[in-house]
Structures are given as C-alpha cells and as structure tokens.
Amino acid sequence: MSCLVKRNPRTASRQYEENTLVITPDDRQVHTLNATGTFLWNAIGEQGAEKDALLRKMAEAFDAPEETLRQDMDAFISELEGKGALIQESCRK
C-alpha cells in the first residue's frame, strides 16, 4: 500500500545544521527532528511524497535492512501525523 505523505501547510519548520525545528499548529509546540527525521522531512518536501518513494530514498542514503527503514519511516510518519505536522492521504493498494 502506498500513501501520499504531505506536510500540514499550517506547520512551520526551519533547518538548523543537521536538525530541523518543527512547530505544530494545534499545540504550538517546537519539536526537534534529528538527522534522520530531517532527511525524511526534506524528502517529503512542500509537495509531499509517496511512502514507497521515501523508502527508496532512505535505502539509498542509509545502510540498513529495508524492514528496519520501513519501521523507522512508519514510526516517524505516525508520530508527526499524531502531532498534526504530517498528513497521509490518497492511500492505495
């Protein structure tokens, strides 16, 4: 199953060195993304990205088993979706 993952347009972010600061719109909290989170945040970009494409980009950038990358990506997306910073849409099989 592939889903389009997009940034919430109301979410503000700034990259600072290897980290990214994300301010979630509903609670106005600042969240610091580590280097891996920053990689995913940038890969999602302003237009969004399919989860399958994100996984391919991660596989090119990180030396880890695909299942580990998938789990890390899904956890990242789930956490930031729960905070209101990301939105998943257009899921299809």
Query: What domains appear along the chain, each with residue ranges and CATH number?
Result: 2-87 (3.90.930.60)
CB of 31 closer than 8 Å to CB of 45: no
- At residue 1, does pLDDT exceed 90? no
Whether 70 contacts 53, CB under 8 Å? no
Quick one: pLDDT at residue 92? 62
- pTM of the model as a whole: 0.90
Angle made by CA atoms 71, 33, 74, in degrees to the nearest 5: 15
* 33-72 confidence digits (pLDDT tens): 999 999 999 999 999 999 999 999 999 999 999 999 999 9
